[in-house]
Structure 1
Amino acid sequence: MSEAQAVHQGTEQHTASELTAFQRNILTILAKEPLYGLAIKAELEAYYNNEVNHGRLYPNLDELVSEGFVEKSKLDKRTNQYELTDKGYELLLGELNWQFSKLVTDEERAGDLQTLIS
């Protein structure tokens, strides 16, 4: 495990590899902007091209909140908003760093990533 993958909280160490792909996708969606649960659900359904059940989404959101990767707040009496924390952002950044270190093997591949970023 690279240091870039690790997020330190006290003596605990969390890595993106400890999260499910579904949880990492939630963090990625929240990297753009804070969203309420049904908006996250819609983004995931568009990505997976399949229905995402509430029974799958909300326990995963709750776990991400308890781990400190996501912050939960009230929008109104019935609606919660979820926002990526700095810890969640650092986890995603570390994961991208690790992926890029494996993917970029020459100048051509580096150029492909520059094109994506642009």
Structure 2
Amino acid sequence: SPIRACRLCQTKGGEKICARKVRELAQAGVNKHCFECSQPGVTYIDITVGCFVCTSCSGMLRGLNPPHRVKSISMTTFSQQEVEFLQNHGNEVGRRTWLCVFEPKTDGCFDPRDSQKLKEFLQDKYEKKKW
């Protein structure tokens, strides 16, 4: 049952199982690259939308209105519910949800190191729901 599964994650062994599952998800397919800027090497999870992101983008996401809930992959514990949410989401589902009509040629590409452009992109995506 879901309640028993959540209790499992609250035990030492259960926490390790949940952490291992999250690390495995972070290394799977498109999850290896930041959902926001496409840079390799994800270190955080945007729990709000279920996507894997880099350190830089995690800070930007916290600054949105409303702020996104972001958790470190290596420094945080995860509940069974969060693990299941991530298993059902991830970067590919995020792309189909938040960028389904995004066209790089017409909507523009930007240098992910340009923090102002990245902030505008995130605001367009999550606050204005442009795509």
Structure with the higher fraction of residues in helix conformation: 1
The alignment's TM-score, normalised by the length of structure 2, stands at: 0.23
- Name the structure, 1 or 2, with higher relative contact order (CA <8 Å, separation 6+): 1
The alignment's TM-score, normalised by the length of structure 1, stands at: 0.24
Structure with the higher fraction of residues in strand conformation: 1
